[in-house]
Structure 1
Amino acid sequence: MPQISSTARSIPGSGIRRIFELAAALPDVIQLSVGEPEARVAPHILEAGAKAWQNDATNYTPNSGLLLLRFAIVTKLAEFNNYAVDEDQVHITAGGAQALHMAMLLTLDAGDEVLIPDPGYATFAMASRLVGAVPVPYRLSADRAFIPAIDDLERLISPRTRVLLINSPSNPLGVVYGPGVLRELLDFATRHDLWVISDEVYEYFTFEGGYTSVSSLDTSDRVFSVYSLSKTYGLTGGRIGYLVTPPGVAITFRAAQEAIVSCVNTPAQLAAVAAIEGDQSAIAEAREHYRGNLAAAGAALDARGIEYYRPDGAFYLWVNVSYCSNGNVAHWAEDFLLTQRVAVAPGSAFGAAGEGWIRLCAAGKRQPLLTALSRLPAVPAQESTSV
């Protein structure tokens, strides 16, 4: 029989989903492997989606999405993200994952290279491969507080480099880049005439020092910004995201969107309008919940002398288990799930630099999180080394 395409076969499997699916078949698991907020979606958002279904709002929308929703996003970007676009630069997608895919589809040809963070969200490498491009990891290390080193990026440049991918607030690390770091990265991209894809899915969840959108600093129309309502409003299954592009991309985006999904489902788009224009108090409540969970978890890890990164954003803990994982954290995470009934994401699922680390989601209830941490193996007596 014919073979599946080499492009499809080049896409790596997700080490995160492997743990998630193993956990689904087991009883009494504390699930910390995926980024899933537990709080109920705000009632006004659910009501808007339900009303759309009840009113049979089920027809096609424009390829880039409802104008009503895109106008709402234009206002949100001006007020929260501090940059101005018109509605033709805003395109509604099936979650942040499709926004990322479309950004790569619009900027990369087969064989082109994209610089991606390592550790970085697993889909960065997967989406690169899906469009026939080559992901080139740039290492983020604990000794630099996981801030990119421009010298390292310079050494990775080749004639095929086309895109620099930036993720702040970061998944899995929780790092938030300040304006100075982002300007350095934009200057680097300008010197080498690269597109920039900026994943800002966790934009609302920062704890200290504020948050800066890359596009608010861009002066050369080179940034594609990826956003999602999944984490912000707890709509992970609603599959609503959006891509903000430089000017002049709308016709090309819409042709590509027509070939992939035509448009995102209409009731979800109407729920998104209610989310963006309605009461935002649930976001502040979620942020404080995550802040409290991360502080409590950090205190528990400090008490046990386990190294971790103290996050400035998102809702994850990046924990060093190299003292017990024996150089194969993916195998260790499976064993930890089977023996301790705790599902964590192995750091190697986020790149080679993640070996020896795990990512834990702190978006759920606090006690299960603390119980899970108590099941981590003991370490030799040493001083706490949060970084």
Structure 2
Amino acid sequence: MPAAALNPLITRLSPPPIPAVQAWGRSYDGSLGPLIDLSQAVPGYPPHPALLQWLGEAAASLAYTNYGPIEGEMVLREAYAAHVCELYGAGIGADNIHITSGCNQAFICAAMAVAAAGDTILMTNPYYFNHETSLAMLGIKTGLVACNSAGGFIPTVEAIVEALVPGVRALALVTPNNPTGAIYPPDRLKAVFDVCKRNGIWLILDETYRDFLPEHYGAPHGLLSDAQWQEHLIQLYSFSKSFCIPGHRLGAITASARVVEEIAKIMDNLQICAPRAAQGAVAQALPGLAEWRAGNRHEIEVRAQALRDVMAGLNDWKLEAVGAYFAFVRHPFKARPSTEVAEHLAKRAGILSVPGQYFGEGQDQFLRFAFANANAATITQLHGRMLGFSI
């Protein structure tokens, strides 16, 4: 008898890339020192002790053992709305906020809310691979907006306009960018948003790493002050990196009350509600740990500078972009695919990185370094390991 079929939208996807990269590291013999893991973006320092205390108290409370509101705990929606208001100088209320289980879930909810199977959502090339695979398994087409190193991997208005085709429902951007680290300037975001408005499409703006913009950067953009933002903007955020709790899976969507209402329909079928104990703890941490988070921003910039210093002494390697959590590094082995370079770098030099090939067409000359995973002292060790590296 024939075997039962599986969904081809799923079976055609490649296996998750991070476990494959980490498997290479298990073959490293340790001869050059401990493994330096620059693969998956995880905070390289622990959560604040007060947050761990609040998490423990919330987890032990009977109040959080039942189902919660689909849109999220009101105490967190209000706290996050106040935070967004303060950061962007815009009038945002709790009815504009939907809490999700991580930012990947926030993205898939946003995508499902604005596009159906057969529609198209534009992304930059290079792109964040989980965004591409999320769209693929929903049957939503992906259109690519070309970016390049000469332009700092920042999309141009012209490239976006060129990528617009019938059936495009949204443009999805990530800033600070994953994988490149590129920071999209406010004036560019405003110009891009104007294109979205003129063409009647949504801008899905993933700002997972915005808390690690350079110190004193100010508001990342002014889009939330635009009179038409609620008709064209869906903003995504993650609490994971800022509060060092990726295992608790907590993200947020900022959108119109109409969009929040539609996303609640999606969430009721995906998960019903995001983790409740974590929501209660983060609601306290948002105002209570602002100074600690500012210190973490400074620490990440110290690590970014350490990487810049290291790469300046490696003439055969080129740092093409760096910011927030990530750097996009051009490797010197032009005839070799990035998967081969990354595999050898892991097994022989003890450096885990993600091949550029996983981030889109034409990215084989690059590796992604999640430099925020390692402190400055560890990052300086890259020089000795990469200087004489060859394959």
TM-score, length-scaled by structure 1: 0.92
Q: Which runs of 5+ in 2 are unaligned?
A: none
User: Is 1:51 the counterpart of 2:60 in the alignment?
Assistant: no
What SS does structure 2 have at the residue aligned with 1:197?
Answer: strand
| Residues 1:373 and 1:361: Cα distance change in structure 2 (over 3 Å) | farther
2:79 alignment partner, one of 72, 75, 88: 72
| Residues 1:303 and 1:282: Cα distance change in structure 2 (over 3 Å) | same
Identity %: 22
| Residues 1:325 and 1:31: Cα distance change in structure 2 (over 3 Å) | farther
CA distance in 1, matches of 2:159, 2:299: 36
User: Is 1:158 the counterpart of 2:165 in the alignment?
Assistant: yes
User: Is 1:283 the counterpart of 2:293 in the alignment?
Assistant: yes
CA distance in 1, matches of 2:147, 2:240: 26
Q: Which has the higher mean CA deviation after the structures are superposed, 113-122 or 345-354? A: 345-354
What SS does structure 2 have at the residue aligned with 1:164?
Answer: strand
Hey, what does 1:237 align to over in structure 2?
Answer: 247
Contact 1:90–1:242 (Cα < 8 Å) also in 2:
yes
Q: Which runs of 5+ in 1 are unaligned?
A: 381-387
- Please list, as runs of the form range in 1=range in 2, the aligned pairs for 1:53-202 lying within 5 A after superposition: 53-56=59-62, 57-202=64-209
CA distance in 1, matches of 2:148, 2:156: 9
Q: Deviations over 1:25-78 (max 9, x none)?
A: 756421111111121101121111100122233111100111111011110110
Calculate the aligned-residue CA RMSD, in Å.
2.0
CA distance in 1, matches of 2:79, 2:196: 30
CA distance in 2, matches of 1:115, 1:218: 22
Deviation at 1:379, TM superposition (A): 9.0
Q: Deviations over 1:157-212 (max 9, x none)?
A: 11111111121111122221222101110111112111110000111111164442
Contact 2:314–2:387 (Cα < 8 Å) also in 1:
no
CA distance in 2, matches of 1:310, 1:334: 22
Hey, what does 1:304 align to over in structure 2?
Answer: 314
Hey, what does 2:369 align to over in structure 1?
Answer: 360
User: Is 1:216 the counterpart of 2:236 in the alignment?
Assistant: no
CA distance in 2, matches of 1:217, 1:177: 18
Q: Which has the higher mean CA deviation after the structures are superposed, 116-125 or 325-334? A: 325-334
Structure 2: which amino acid aligns with 1:2? A
Equivalent pairs counted in the alignment come to: 378
1:254 alignment partner, one of 250, 259, 264: 264
| Residues 1:59 and 1:40: Cα distance change in structure 2 (over 3 Å) | same
CA distance in 2, matches of 1:108, 1:21: 36
